[in-house]
Structure 1
Amino acid sequence: MELVSGLLSRVWFLAGLSDATDDKRSKKMEEKALEVYDVIRTIRDPEKPNTLEELDVVTEKCVEVQELGDDEYLIIIRFSPTVPHCSLATLIGLCLQVKLQRCLPFKHKLEIYITEGTHSTEEDSECSLQQFLSFEMFKQPSGSDALHSSA
């Protein structure tokens, strides 16, 4: 099967069709990234009345989507806490995870990180965040939404 796939890729490349295929795939990933961003941008900051978008905790550029297979995607989010000593960075990461798990209509895997250089205890917060993200303890019955959202 790999041989056939490799041959097809080579034929497409030689025929000048691979660029069109790559462009379609790239556009699809950009659309998925915008879909993800639309879900997370309205989450409210745990300490302030503003959304994560209004505080520049999340931006369109902080979301990356990669295709893993048929209708399965890897979502990578790198958020920036409002201040370097933010004590709620882990909570923000968990809010991102739960909101995406509840709202995205497609199969996905999540990787959520704190943007490098934006937190004073980045390594510790990153470790805590990854430990929390690895647990499946946030499953609640549908209809009970503990996340604050402006939408």
Structure 2
Amino acid sequence: MVSRLSNEKPIVYETKEHVHPERPSSLEHLKVLTKDSVEVDDDKSYVRVTFTPTMKLCGMTTLIGLCVRVKLMRNLPGRYKVDIRVAPGSHATEAAVNKQLNDKERVSAALENPYIVEIVDECLSHHLNVA
């Protein structure tokens, strides 16, 4: 049987929490997101998150970025400007993904789709736990 996973054996990094190696429980365990990848300037009401997909052709990159944006939208005061970026050189379509994730109209259009909102909600309920 051929697996549908595009990255069957991702590198899992040690964190403070115990994690089962075959079942990473967060984006932190995959080093997609880390505390160091989040910049906050409270005086300027600005947040930048730079994340690193696990592979250059990761098909989940835009969804990961959208989940990060929605998580911040739901938890930060409205005065914050949020900038979501793919780490330089980490994805084949980095410029296009960055443009899409920071275009208010594209984000709004995506969040009008009930199917996408359902996926984002599912991701946020389980998998976006950066310790």
Q: TM-score, normalised by structure 2?
A: 0.60
Residue in structure 2 matched with residue 115 of structure 1 by the alignment: 87
Matched residue count: 97
Which structure is higher in RCO with an 8 Å CA cutoff and minimum separation 6? Answer: 2
Matched, 1:124 2:102: no
Spell out, residue by residue over 1:83-108, the C-alpha distance to the aligned partner (whole angstroms, 9 max, x if none).
Answer: 11111111111000111111235741
Residue in structure 2 matched with residue 92 of structure 1 by the alignment: 64
Residue in structure 1 matched with residue 29 of structure 2 by the alignment: 54
2:53–2:90 contact (8 Å) kept in structure 1: yes
Alpha carbons of structure 1 residues 126 and 105: separation in structure 2 relative to 1, 3 Å:
closer
Q: Point out where structure 1 has 5 or more consecutive residues left out of the alignment.
A: 1-47
Alpha carbons of structure 1 residues 136 and 54: separation in structure 2 relative to 1, 3 Å:
same
**Between Structure 1 and Structure 2, whose CA radius of gyration is higher?**
1
Q: Shift of residue 121 of structure 1?
A: 1.9
Alpha carbons of structure 1 residues 108 and 64: separation in structure 2 relative to 1, 3 Å:
same
Q: Shift of residue 113 of structure 1?
A: 0.4
Identity of matched residues, %:
34
Q: TM-score, normalised by structure 1?
A: 0.53
Structural RMSD (CA): 2.8
2:24–2:30 contact (8 Å) kept in structure 1: no
Q: Point out where structure 2 has 5 or more consecutive residues left out of the alignment.
A: 1-22, 113-117
Residue in structure 1 matched with residue 39 of structure 2 by the alignment: 64
